[in-house]
Amino acid sequence: MMKKTRLSRVLVPAVVLALTVSACSGTSSGDDPTAGDGSAAGSVLRVNWGGFPESWAPGAEMEAGFLRVPYENLVALEDGEIKPVLATKWEQSGLELTLTLREGVTFHDGTPFDADAVQLNIETIQDTPGPYAGPFQVIESIDVIDDLTVRLNLSEPTPSLLTTLTTRAAPMASPAAIEAGTIAQTPVGTGPWAYDEAASVAGTRLSFGPFADYWGDPVGFETIQLVSIPEDSAATAALTSGEIDLTDTEVSEFSTLDAATNVERLAYPAIRNNPIFFDRGPGGAFEDVAVRKAVCYAIDTEVLAELEPDWTVRTQHFAEGEQGYNPVIAGYQHDLAQAQELYEGAGNPTVDVKMLATMFNERQMQIYAEQVGELGMKITVESAPPPQYFSEWNSGRYPIGLGGNDELTPFDWYSSWFAADAPGNPTGVESDQLKTAAEKAIAAGSSPEADALWADVTKIISDEALTCAHVAGEELLAWNADTVTGVAAPSETWETNLVNYRDLRPAGS
* C-alpha radius of gyration, the chain, whole number: 23
User: How many CA within 13 A on the CB side of residue 82?
Assistant: 20
Are 63 and 49 spatial neighbours (Cβ–Cβ below 8 Å)? Answer: yes
The domain boundary, picked from 123, 146, 177, lies at: 177
Closest by Cα among 110, 131, 240 to 175? 110
pLDDT tens profile 213-237:
999 999 999 999 999 998 999 999 9
The Cα–Cα gap between 378 and 370 comes to: 8
pLDDT at res. 488: 96
Domain annotation covers residue 61: no
pLDDT at res. 493: 87
Which residues does the chain have with pLDDT short of 70? 1-39, 387
| 450 and 320 both lie in a single domain | yes
Per the structure, the complete domain to which residue 130 belongs is given by: 75-177
How distant, in Å, are the alpha carbons of 118, 189, 210, 216, 501 from that of 193? 20, 9, 5, 11, 10
Domain annotation covers residue 120: yes
The Cα–Cα gap between 391 and 422 comes to: 16
| 362 and 446 both lie in a single domain | yes
pLDDT tens profile 77-128:
988 899 999 999 999 988 999 999 999 999 999 999 999 999 999 999 999 9
Which CATH number goes with the domain that contains 440? 3.10.105.10
Other beta carbons within 10 angstroms of residue 312's beta carbon come to 15
Which CATH number goes with the domain that contains 44? 3.40.190.10
Q: List phi, psi (to 5°) of 406.
A: -105, 15
Domain annotation covers residue 186: no
The domain boundary, picked from 125, 142, 177, lies at: 177
> How many domains, the chain?
3
Are 56 and 184 spatial neighbours (Cβ–Cβ below 8 Å)? Answer: yes
pLDDT at res. 66: 95
| 195 and 97 both lie in a single domain | no
DSSP string, 35-81: -TTSSEEEEEEEEE-SSB-S--STTS---HHHHTTT---SEEEETTE
Closest by Cα among 278, 289, 272 to 422? 278
Instruction: Give SS3 for 19.
Output: helix
pTM, entire model: 0.84
Q: What angle do CA 5, 167, 497 make, to 5 degrees?
A: 25
